[in-house]
Amino acid sequence: MEGHQRNLYLYDRFNARVAGVSRDQVATLEFWAKDLGLTFPLFSNPIGHLGIWFGALRQGYPMFNRTTVIIDKWGVIRYMRDGSPDYHEILRVLKQLHGEEAGR
Amino acid sequence: MKCRWIHLGWLVLALLVLGGCALPAPPAPHQSALRADGEALVWQDEFRFVPPPAPWQLIDLNEDDYSVAYMKLCRESSPCQSTLAYAEEPFGYSLDFVERQEEFFRRFLWASRVVFAPARLEKTEVLGGEGLIAITEGVEPVLGHKVHAKVVFARRGERVVGFYFTQWRSAEAAYDLRDEQDFLNFIESFRYLRPSFYELL
């Protein structure tokens, strides 16, 4: 999450926004965001349906697997990766998508 | 095609794991990432530096909060150690040095439960450009430990990078800041060998 916060100015350049989704309660996320100094939205999804949609919720496991998803403005998933975010890869993908957008 | 959310653009959605679980950090470079180049070392063809002399030892703790770090132990007190490091992504977010050092000390050594005094700031020139030196002391009140910290913030392209020096002592012991000269020599010898990922983005 700190990596995303550090790259917010680059996401702006590529016309991208970042949001986090977690199964934790709102109060937990508020505390966590304040403690880390995060300024982007964090969504509380205790039921976990978002994780189910993105395949980030393993059967019998209470938390989401870490997953990064890039969705375009038409709602199409353009990138998905499990595990720790690869910030360089994310920026390369956003740059490519932004270039495609500029070329339309 | 006209889009519905013209203002939104791309969305990076990060599904998180919270709830007190430690996350696996990306593996830090091992010593194999370093190669000798005369008296200097080269790290992944990114930067070159002259390592501090023995008894400084390279640290490889699979941490991801520094790129390369050295530690020196002593026996005069407990704890008794100095650390110097270079970090490509120092704690914090701001591209402004003063704001960054405030953010930095909120996270630096947090696992050691250190309470830092406000840092004394000095402008400097480092890596051929502007920099900021932040000097402070942290106290761990329960164990009675203290740490002297000197952090030099510099730039690689537009990004902020950091050089750290810490020295741990027990509350009643005096610091021995002669080790700081090795830190300054480390910075003095430090050179980038190519533009960073962010400069090429």
Encode pLDDT of B156-189 as tens digits: 999 999 999 999 999 999 999 899 999 999 999 9
Q: How confident is the model at residue B8 (pLDDT cuts 50, 70, 90)?
A: very low
| Contact by Cβ (8 Å): B126, B152 | yes
| Contact by Cβ (8 Å): B147, B77 | no
Give the span between the Cα atoms of B126 and B120, in whole angstroms. 18
Encoded tokens for A77: 């998933």
Residues in chain B: 201
A93: how many CB neighbours lie within 10 A of its CB? 20
Query: Rounded mean pLDDT of A65-88?
Result: 92
Interface size between A and B, measured as CB pairs under 8 A? 129
CB-CB under 8 Å, A23 with B93: no
| A58 or A30: which leads in pLDDT | A30
CB-CB under 8 Å, B14 with A66: yes
Query: Rounded mean pLDDT of A90-101?
Result: 93
What is the reported pLDDT for A63? 81
For the cut 60, the answer to whether the pLDDT of residue B63 exceeds it is no
Cα B51 vs. chain centroid, distance in angstroms? Answer: 16
Give the span between the Cα atoms of B196 and B103, in whole angstroms. 23
Residues of A with Cβ-Cβ distance to B26 under 8 angstroms: 84
Q: List pLDDT tens digits, range A4-37.
A: 999 999 999 999 999 999 999 999 999 999 999 9
Query: Rounded mean pLDDT of B83-108?
Result: 96
Q: Does A34 touch chain B (CB under 8 A)?
A: no
What is the reported pLDDT for A71? 93
What is the reported pLDDT for A34? 94
Amino acid (one-letter) located at B77? S
Residues of A with Cβ-Cβ distance to B4 under 8 angstroms: 73-74
Q: How confident is the model at residue B21 (pLDDT cuts 50, 70, 90)?
A: very low
For the cut 90, the answer to whether the pLDDT of residue B13 exceeds it is no
List all residues 6 or more positions away from A50 whose beta carbon is below 8 Å from its beta carbon. Answer: A21, A43, A56, B15
Q: Does B9 touch chain A (CB under 8 A)?
A: yes
For the cut 50, the answer to whether the pLDDT of residue B199 exceeds it is yes
List strand residue ranges (DSSP E) for chain B, in order.
Answer: 10-15, 34-37, 40-43, 47-49, 57-58, 68-73, 81-87, 115-116, 120-126, 129-140, 145-156, 159-170, 191-192
Give the span between the Cα atoms of B180 and B37, in whole angstroms. 24
CB-CB under 8 Å, A73 with B10: yes
Give the span between the Cα atoms of B69 and A60, in whole angstroms. 40
Query: Rounded mean pLDDT of B60-82?
Result: 83
List all residues 6 or more positions away from A84 whose beta carbon is below 8 Å from its beta carbon. Answer: A66, B23, B24, B25, B26
Run of H or E including A8: helix A8-13
Residues of B with Cβ-Cβ distance to A23 under 8 angstroms: 18-19
What is the reported pLDDT for B167? 97
Q: At residue A63, what are phi and psi to the nearest 5 degrees?
A: -120, 160
Q: How confident is the model at residue B31 (pLDDT cuts 50, 70, 90)?
A: low
Residues of B with Cβ-Cβ distance to A73 under 8 angstroms: 3-6, 8-10
CB-CB under 8 Å, B14 with A67: yes
